[in-house]
Amino acid sequence: MSKKRRKTYKKTDEFTSLLRKIRGMKEYKEWRSAVIKRDKPGFMYVNVHHLKGIDKIIKENGIWTVDDARKCEELWDVSNGVAIRKGEHQIITLIERMKLHSKGFIDFLKHYVKKYEVKK
């Protein structure tokens, strides 16, 4: 009896191509607009970021096509998005790409967040 192999992306280009297609979808634009309207109405130069990474959602839900993406409720969940300025988005992306975070780095981030927490 042979084990079924789980399908994986052959190349980064294949995954990047799917991400571009998803970000071009009407559903993505509607999700993005809803997050911006909730978090930063009237702001310009805003990016939207999935709190649970879009790459993780794609992999966990077995999304291989735009049709798969369209059917995935988790991908379009507005509560899983946050609107942030473009510069902030670049910093978040860099931090997420780091494989390991030292205790000192995490402690610094906690201190920074506490010090500069926005009062509502």
Total-model pTM: 0.73
Query: What is the tens place of the pLDDT at every residue in 17-65?
Result: 999 999 999 999 999 999 999 988 877 778 898 999 898 999 999 999 9
| Statement: residue 11 has pLDDT above 60 | no
Instruction: Judge contact between 22 and 61, C-beta under 8 A.
Output: no
**What Cα–Cα distance (Å) separates residue 47 from each residue in 30, 43, 81, 102?**
13, 10, 10, 27
Residue 2's pLDDT band, with cuts at 50, 70 and 90, is very low
pLDDT digit string, tens, across residues 101-115: 788 888 888 888 888
What per-residue confidence (pLDDT) applies to 9?
Answer: 55
